[in-house]
Structure 1
C-alpha cells in the first residue's frame, strides 16, 4: 500500500484545521467580521503558517468550496454508472447526504458569505458537472436537446441550490432519500404534474394558447 509523506499529512491537517476554524467563526459572528488572527488562534496555527497556504480569508473560503467539491466527488463513485443506467436520482441523493454530513460548511457557502464569491464558485462547479452529465447522457442516447444544455444545467443547478439551502438551514422533516425522490419526480414529470394540475390548468396556459 502506498503511504503518503508525513509532510502531505501535515498540510492536510493544517488546512482542515483552518477550514474548520473559518466555518465555526463565520457561523458564530459572520464572515465579514472574522479576522485572520481569529482564524489562526482557533486553528492553533501561526499567522506565517496561514499565509503559507492562503493569501487571505477570502482565499481560504474559496479553498473551503473547492475542497468540499473534491470531497463530494470522492463520495460519488457510482455517479457515472448511475447516468448510464438512466435517471435514478443517485447523484442528487449523494449531494444531500454529503450536505447532511457537512451541514455547517454548506450553510456558510449557501448563505453567500464572502460577498457571495464562494456561493458563485460553488454554483459554477455544480453547474459544470451538471452540464457535463447532461451532455454525456444525450450523447450516449443520440438525442437532440430541445433546450440548450447550458440553460438546462443552470436551471437545474438553481433549483437544486435553492432546495439545498432551505434543507440545510431548517428542520424540514424530509430525509435525503425523500427530498431526492421528490426532485427526481419533479425533473421527470414536471411542475404541472407535481402540482396535480393538467397542462390546460397551469398558470399562463391561456397566454401560451395559439
Structure 2
C-alpha cells in the first residue's frame, strides 16, 4: 500500500511544477535553470534538490504524474454502463472525465503538448488515448468482421484525431465546456461530421 504524501510535500511539488510550466511557456525548456524555477516558485535551491535531481527530473516526474492522473481518471470500464446509448447525443462519462482532467490542468497540457522539445509527453498521452479508444471499440463492437477497417488502424486513427482536437481546444483557450467537447468528440467518432449522408 502506497504511503500518502505529506500535504506540504504535495504543495511544494505543485509550486515547482507550476513554475516549470510558466517558464517553459515564457522561455522554452532549454533556457530554464534550476535557479529560475526556484525563484519563480519562491523556494530555495535546497528545497528543490530534496525533491528532484535536476530540471529534467522535475520535467519527467511532472509528466509522469499528469499521465498517471489522466489514466486513473478515464480508467472506467465501459462495461459499468451497459445501458448507455452510444447513438444518443449524450456524452459518456468517460469522455467528460477526459476533457475535465485536461481542463483542470490546462496550463500544463497546453505547454507540454505544444512545446517542440517534449515529444515524450505527447507520445505518452497518445498511448493513454490508444488504450482508452481500444477499450471503447472493443466494448461497442468486439467482432473484427463487423469493422470496416482493421481494429488497430481504427484505434490509431481515432487516437491521433482525439489528440489533435484536444490540442486545438487548448490552443483556442478552451472555448467550449468539457461536457460539450465530450459530446462533439463522441458524435464525430460515432456518426461522422455530416447530419445527413451526402453520398
Specify if TM > 0.5: yes
Q: What's the secondary structure of 2:144's corresponding residue? A: coil
Distance 1:128 1:63, change over 3 A: farther
Give deviations 1:59-110, integer Å, cap 9, x for gaps. 3223222222333345447564565344343322222222222221111122
- Structure 2 contact 67–124 (Cα < 8 Å) conserved: no
1:118 to 121, 133, 140: 121
Instruction: Single out whichever of 154-163 and 73-82 deviates more from structure 2.
Output: 73-82
- The answer to whether the aligner puts 1:131 opposite 2:129 as a matched pair is no
Using structure 1 for the length normalisation, give the TM-score: 0.73
Partner of 2:189: 187
- Structure 2 contact 102–109 (Cα < 8 Å) conserved: yes
Give the length in aligned residue pairs.
192
Using structure 2 for the length normalisation, give the TM-score: 0.76
- Tell me the C-alpha RMSD between the 2 structures: 3.1
Q: Which runs of 5+ in 2 are unaligned?
A: none
Partner of 2:12: 14
The structure with the larger Rg is: 1
Partner of 2:70: 72
Distance 1:143 1:126, change over 3 A: same
Distance 1:49 1:127, change over 3 A: farther
Partner of 1:207: none
| CA distance in 2 between partners of 1:171 and 1:38 (Å) | 26
| CA distance in 2 between partners of 1:187 and 1:70 (Å) | 25
Instruction: Single out whichever of 53-62 and 175-184 deviates more from structure 2.
Output: 53-62
